[in-house]
Structure 1
């Protein structure tokens, strides 16, 4: 019992230290997940002396934590974002992982004196981006990235783990049994189809199961979040047990459940947010404890060289080739290439060669650990400056807002929102609340009063309103503070505006001719942008057409574009090299070159 209490004390202390380190990370801009990893290293066998070497336990704990993170990631992904980014993101999650593994494997073959198979195994281990790191940076990192780019990165990080796990597990099995790729080629294809197909089908079925149980079973409000999380882990465990990809299944289940109207949704979201934080802390701490830093100097130089190769060569080439058919600008492709952080997933996969008793098992783990730390340090520390440099940070549409969503009992078809009236908000300046919103209560200086008798709203008033689901965006604008207009906003949104109902033919006549095809000329500008982007328009979406850029400058409460900005300045490329050109731009450049040669 004394040992149990000591272990509990040490574990709790580490979690608290990791939680408090978020204040340090916010102050100095350090990558928080890297801090969690370093705390585990400091507390480990070469630091404070905690000797944790149970690889199986670390893998199991890490897998459960990752399943929790992936479910929450899927739960917070809107169906619109998923549809908009699904094809490019899934291309990155499959072919991108394979290309990265091959390129990295070639470099590992020469830098570590590995065989080709050993190099490909190490490449497979580090080939996938880390969902925890990517979602943390994009959702809680204090930056607002364009929806299309953010969705691409989120969906990629949520769906690329199955490919990396499949490649790693297959190669470990081949090497452990001294087999060749030729001997089990068909078996690999069957295994891959079972992993991906099982993950998709059981994930969708699991999402339906979660929604139906929460809707039909009279669950106590406080138990609803626990039911949802337990069902998600059930989907993960069952899918994995029958040979499917549990990580893909739990992510798909999260997307389905998160896009359905559920009771106690606010409680579910808050509970999952806390559980995701705890899962991230535990996962990175455990993996940090598992490492032995005294072994790192032996392979530090080649491992750092491999990390730099991954960040600056392998990842950018794989991203460019995968996004080539899609209309991503050079800057967008460049940013996607940069946000390819490696994290806990790679370290978890590096445990598999040790569990498979491979000859260089510990070497894979140590090399991967160094690659992850370098990736988190370089990319995690520079995401915001790179996003600003490449023009991916969206100017805020509204200022600060203080809002609370409250759950209603039963199946009421309304939402209850509580707003605090902040300085410089439109409602404080006399803007009227729309008729479809039903203000019910105002709390002023601790005193409750009916809205009808409160008179003109004052700063710091708490206002409670009932609204129909999906209509909160306009109210957010009424209760938000005045946003500061940046000098760069005109550069971001263009020098002047046009109506989205104008035709493509007018656009082609003004800035062409030859910019648009015959079919595109018959579309409105809004339809043209939607066709190019492959989904509904969102605030700050951009489409480059020839030498002009069309930008969504304003949207209404339903999300429809009401104003389009036009930038006549050519968009500066992400690099001087023609590395990130998309297919349309390559064809346009060839035509321009041919036309000049003829002249």
Structure 2
């Protein structure tokens, strides 16, 4: 189809291998539908994990294209080094970041967001400095933090969602300045052939081969085969050969841009149709809520309870963030002696504190007592404290 060398062909393949699960869920959400079963976490795992690998392959193969003398076997140690160091340091930085976020006391809540951004930049730079994959380190660090109890976690999620949209706008605007329609027209034929091959052959074969040892319905695998939606990441990776001065970098960039455009037009426009045809959709309102969904929910709390912390309770001296309270629970205020305190995750509990706890139902209230390490008697009164008023 093209006059590419084997390295240039592999470079093109590595660039377009990155997929965008966020675009998939955005399209489904705009049509008020959600996916059944574990399809969502599967697609999120694929999208998050293939970006670091696509980045490594793009860097390696760009070097091969620029310098034809390099040997392929010599890159295996480099690949292992990138993955192992990136994975280990990502987990280590995640553990350290949790301690820093929950342990440091800043006067302004907005500075916590700046702190997290600084941690991400440091994680990437430090990992890259010692020869690891910075993207993989940041991804694992973020996944770890996303599953931990953090101070101001709800604000983090909302802020980074805004940052993600802003970066996408800036990214597409910048990439649009690099594209010239007159240069896209000559590669339309090649681009269509490659797009059809990726959509109908390469993607399905790769999905079924990867999932052959995992249980799951064939319909689910067919849907995953269809949703290999390309986003902005392949276009960004296509700029790497341009910066390196590769001989056919402009042609590769134009082909990648056309493939991404075709993916959005064909796969993106038929996404909901295919999901419904395979009977894999449920109404958006009936989908199973993830931890993040629960974290961001602003549901109405129906039960207000006053709980007194006794002297002998083991939670005395602990931060609220360390208690592991249910996501549907909210400590609205703390009365300490004659003062009223508006609590945050970093607030330390003291003996004789009176907590005003809002919960959705009495089942959540029972979980609150478990987290406070206080027992309930007859489903209403704790042995060591007391429910003074319940509305």
Partner of 1:201: 88
- What whole-Å deviation, never above 9, does each CA across 1:258-309 have from its counterpart, x for those lacking one? 1111111121111111111111211222112221221111111111221121
Q: Distance in 2 between matches of 1:341 and 1:331?
A: 18
1:190 aligns with 2:99: no
Shift in Å at residue 405 of structure 1?
Answer: 7.2
Secondary structure at the counterpart of residue 144 of structure 1: strand
Q: Which residue of the other structure, out of 212, 226, 236, is the alignment partner of 1:348?
A: 236
Q: Which residue of the other structure, out of 353, 359, 380, is the alignment partner of 1:467?
A: 359
Alpha-carbon distance change, 437 to 165 in structure 1, aligned in 2, over 3 angstroms: closer
Q: Distance in 1 between matches of 2:179 and 2:169?
A: 16
Q: Distance in 1 between matches of 2:331 and 2:151?
A: 21
Partner of 2:51: 161
Shift in Å at residue 137 of structure 1?
Answer: 4.2
Matched length: 319
Alpha-carbon distance change, 242 to 139 in structure 1, aligned in 2, over 3 angstroms: farther
Contact 1:131 1:157 in 2 (8 A): yes
Q: Distance in 1 between matches of 2:202 and 2:157?
A: 36
Contact 1:149 1:332 in 2 (8 A): yes
Shift in Å at residue 184 of structure 1?
Answer: 4.2
1:217 aligns with 2:104: yes
Written as runs of structure 1 = structure 2, the 5 A alignment for 1:478-557 is none
Q: Distance in 1 between matches of 2:100 and 2:28?
A: 31
Q: Distance in 2 between matches of 1:160 and 1:473?
A: 41
1:295 aligns with 2:183: yes
Q: Distance in 1 between matches of 2:240 and 2:365?
A: 47
Partner of 1:282: 170
Q: Distance in 2 between matches of 1:398 and 1:165?
A: 33
Partner of 1:12: none
Secondary structure at the counterpart of residue 33 of structure 2: coil
Q: Distance in 1 between matches of 2:40 and 2:365?
A: 20
Partner of 1:128: 18
Written as runs of structure 1 = structure 2, the 5 A alignment for 1:168-187 is 168-179=58-69, 183-185=71-73, 187=74
Q: Distance in 2 between matches of 1:149 and 1:474?
A: 32
Q: Distance in 2 between matches of 1:473 and 1:370?
A: 55
RMSD over aligned Cα, in angstroms?
3.4
Which 5+ residue runs of structure 2 have no aligned equivalent? 289-293, 301-318, 334-355, 368-391
Alpha-carbon distance change, 175 to 466 in structure 1, aligned in 2, over 3 angstroms: same
Shift in Å at residue 473 of structure 1?
Answer: 12
- What whole-Å deviation, never above 9, does each CA across 1:328-363 have from its counterpart, x for those lacking one? 211000011111111211111111211221111100
Partner of 2:33: 143
Contact 1:134 1:154 in 2 (8 A): no
Which 5+ residue runs of structure 1 have no aligned equivalent? 1-110, 419-435, 441-463, 476-599
Q: Distance in 2 between matches of 1:388 and 1:249?
A: 37
Q: Distance in 2 between matches of 1:232 and 1:467?
A: 34
Alpha-carbon distance change, 210 to 138 in structure 1, aligned in 2, over 3 angstroms: farther
Q: Distance in 2 between matches of 1:160 and 1:139?
A: 23
Contact 1:128 1:342 in 2 (8 A): yes
